[in-house]
Amino acid sequence: MTKLLVFADLHIQNDPIIGLDPVARFKAALAHALANHMDAQGIVLMGDLVHGVTAVEYEILKSILADVPLPITYMMGNHDRREVFLQVFAQAALGSNGFVQSAFDLGEWRGLTLDTLDGPPYLDGVHSGRLCPNRLAWLADQLDQAKDKPVVLFTHHPLGDIGFPKMDRIRLENGKDVIDMLKAHPRPVHVLSGHVHRTVSGQWDGISYTGFKSTCHQNPLNLRGQYASMSVDQPGAYGVILFDGPNIIVHSEDYALAQ
């Protein structure tokens, strides 16, 4: 059995978000995870690492993680900026194409993390994701290398619609291209994403998907309104993923409620 810990949408900054302290919340999530899951192979931080995209925020994150004894894989979200992140995390894994992407084994599975941040250029107010041809080519190459393995794909932005208009308009814009590539993979594929700040699961055209809560603030379910609903103070969570032979199981732990 191989175990992996995932944390989505940390949104680290010094100031509160809807009255919540993202630093304290992430520290609490991390402490709970390390107290209960030190047998994990590693940690994936699934993007929106910081909120306001300053080097100071990445430095805060770096200091929180300084004593974590597990390997950490970083991902970019729409609230991140690759160049600022790399100023602080110069050792972060990069794909051969210079984006914040990586490939690693998880038992029988191959894990692939994609950098779905749209840009550069980064356009003001754009929170949807986009993979440029360079990143799509990297994914195609990685899937080819893993053709004898089941694949778990990590993307900050969901690949397809989830029936939640506010989030569907800022999902991965060319997610269908990725879904089509995954459908061609000869072994099972599962997709893990952040961005939605809710626990959600389903399938797009046969490709299974799980989305995670934020460690900090959550997104009230509103399947009708396009622009309504601000974030809410509901319990944060982190994910515990189990890889057991050909099987994958995804747990979500509301750390503040857990014993």
Chain contacts with Fe ion (rule: CB under 5 A): 9, 48, 77-78, 195
In the bound state with Fe ion, the residue whose beta carbon lies nearer, of 79 and 135, is 79
Residue 11 CB, nearest distance to Fe ion (Å)? 6
Report in angstroms how near the CB of residue 242 gets to Fe ion at its nearest: 25
Q: Which residue number, 77 or 239, has a Cβ lying nearer to Fe ion?
A: 77
Taking the least distance from each CB to Fe ion, the nearer of 61 and 146 is 61
Task: Kindly state the smallest distance separating residue 170's Cβ from Fe ion, in Å.
Answer: 8
Q: Closer to Fe ion at the Cβ: 80 or 253? A: 80
Please report how close the Cβ of residue 156 comes to Fe ion at its closest, in angstroms.
Answer: 6
SS3 sequence of the chain:
CEEEEEECCCCECCCCECCECHHHHHHHHHHHHHHHCCCCCEEEECCCCECCCCHHHHHHHHHHHCCCCCCEEECCCCCCCHHHHHHHCCCCCCCCCCCCCEEEEECCEEEEECCCECCCCCCCCCCCECCCHHHHHHHHHHHHHCCCCCEEEEECCCCCCCCCHHHHCCCECCHHHHHHHHHCCCCCEEEEECCCCCCEEEEECCEEEEECCCCCCECCCCCCCCCCCCCECCCCCEEEEEEECCEEEEEEECCCCCC
Query: Is the Cβ of residue 190 or residue 195 nearer to Fe ion in the bound state?
Result: 195
The least distance separating Fe ion from the CB of residue 217, rounded to whole angstroms, comes to 8
